[in-house]
Amino acid sequence: MEMDLEIKVRSYSGASIIDLVGEVDAYTSGRFREMMVSVIEDGARNLVVSMTNVQYIDSSGLGALVGGLKRIREKDGRISIVCDRPQILKVFEITGLERVFPIYDNEKDAVERTDDTGA
């Protein structure tokens, strides 16, 4: 029952999707950060981080996301989040990051930016 983080990358309708499964915390966020950097350096400009299967995210996970946002903004790109788990949504709400990252409850909307209100 080892708690860890599985990271997969795929493309969908011109967007790059990073699927996260598990926990994004001090132990695992380094790998997530590296993966984001690599995807952005490979040219991703519409990056979607799918957190539908994330059990927990701590502040180091949020730090990785903010670092990724900084990097992709320098290249005129954006990051969206897909998540419908109340526990994860609560983290974005209490920190105020819901006003920084556009959050969608499904991947299609995130990729097509159907309600493009993100920063």
Partner 1 sequence: MADEQKTVDASLPEELALRDEVRWIKSEDLRLFRSLQESMNKIEPAYVATYPPTECGIATFTRDVLQSVAKYSPFSKPTVIAVKRDNEIEPYDRTVRCQIVKEQRQSYLDAADYVNGSAVDIVSIQHEYGIFGGDDGEYVLDLVAALQKPSVVTCHTVLQHPSPNQKRIIQELGRMCDAMIVMIKTGKQILVDVYGIDPKKVAVIPHGVPNVHRVSASSVKRALGVGADIPIMSTFGLISRGKGIENAIKAMPMILKRHPKTIYLVLGETHPGVRKHEGESYRNSLNDLVANLGLENHVRFNNRFLSLNELVRYLCATDVYITPYLSKDQITSGTLAYALGCGRAIVSTAYLYAEEVLGDNRGLLVEFGDPEAIAGAVCRVLDDPALRTELENNAYAYGRRAAWFNVAIDNLELFRRILLRRGQETGA
Are the C-beta atoms of 92 and 98 separated by less than 8 Å? Answer: yes
Provide the minimum distance between the beta carbon of 27 and partner 1 in the complex, in angstroms, as a whole number: 5
Binding to partner 1 by residue 55, rule CB under 8 A? yes
* CA–CA separation, 80 and 109 (whole Å): 10
Binding to partner 1 by residue 99, rule CB under 8 A? yes
Beta strands across the sheet bearing 15-24: 5-12, 15-24, 46-57, 78-82, 103-104
Binding to partner 1 by residue 70, rule CB under 8 A? yes
What residue ranges bind partner 1 (CB under 8 A)? Answer: 1-4, 23, 25-27, 29, 55-56, 58-60, 62-63, 66-67, 70, 73, 90-91, 94-97, 99-100, 119
